Chains A and B, each alone.
Chain A
């Protein structure tokens, strides 16, 4: 059974801090790892990672994948209150699980002014 585990489950920081969110996975026929941000509504897509060591960046957010150690991290620099959200990572498998995503529990990030 595929499994994705995120840590920490919750994190409280102050504006300007840098945070690192972790995601480890065990996904058969692994194809990609996706990160989503969820505010008080539906998850919205952040990144998809398929290759080890290649950093994806979008503004203050960046993410990288290690396919040997089976984990990914999401970094947020100079955090702002608008970064407060649940961050979800998900593993995408091939084979008989083609098209499905297995989600982790999520990390609840709270950024105080």
Chain B
């Protein structure tokens, strides 16, 4: 399917476990982003990537790791999950050179850390 997909859509894990959230886009957009959404905070940027093998921290990067070996994939890993990382995670992609610079969002992953 064309577009941007995330997996899994729902995940329950325990404190201290490693979790990887997957993001895949089919548009060949150069930029990809990971956000978390918590009530009262809107969307907060965790990490972003301007191209394959180029990543940079966003507003709330602590406890997360990203990689981007291929343009279409941008996995987000929680190395040792904590309860404060319970959230809804959105992946997005964009091609900033295009007039609108619109970011397109995936369907989200709801993560619960017990």
Residues of A within 8 A of B (CB): 4, 6, 9, 31-32, 34, 41-45, 48, 88, 90, 92, 98-106
Contacts and interface: CB of A to CB of B under 8 A. Distances in A.
Nearest to A99: B96
Contacts of A103: 35, 42-45
Nearest to A48: B100
The prevalent SS among residues of A at the interface is strand
B48 interface: yes
Contacts of B96: 98-99
Interface of B: 31, 33, 35, 40-45, 48, 50, 58, 90, 94, 96, 100-108
5 contacts: A6-B42, A34-B102, A88-B42, A99-B94, A101-B45
A15 to B, nearest CB: 25
Contacts of A98: 50, 96
B98 to A, nearest CB: 11
B42 A101 contact: no
A17 B54 CA distance: 47
Given A41-B107, A42-B90, A32 B101 contact: yes
Contacts of A42: 90, 105-108
Nearest to A92: B101
A45 B40 CA distance: 20
Nearest to A4: B42
Contacts of A101: 33, 45, 103
A22 B107 CA distance: 26
Nearest to A9: B40
Contacts of B90: 42-43
B47 to A, nearest CB: 11
A99 B101 contact: yes
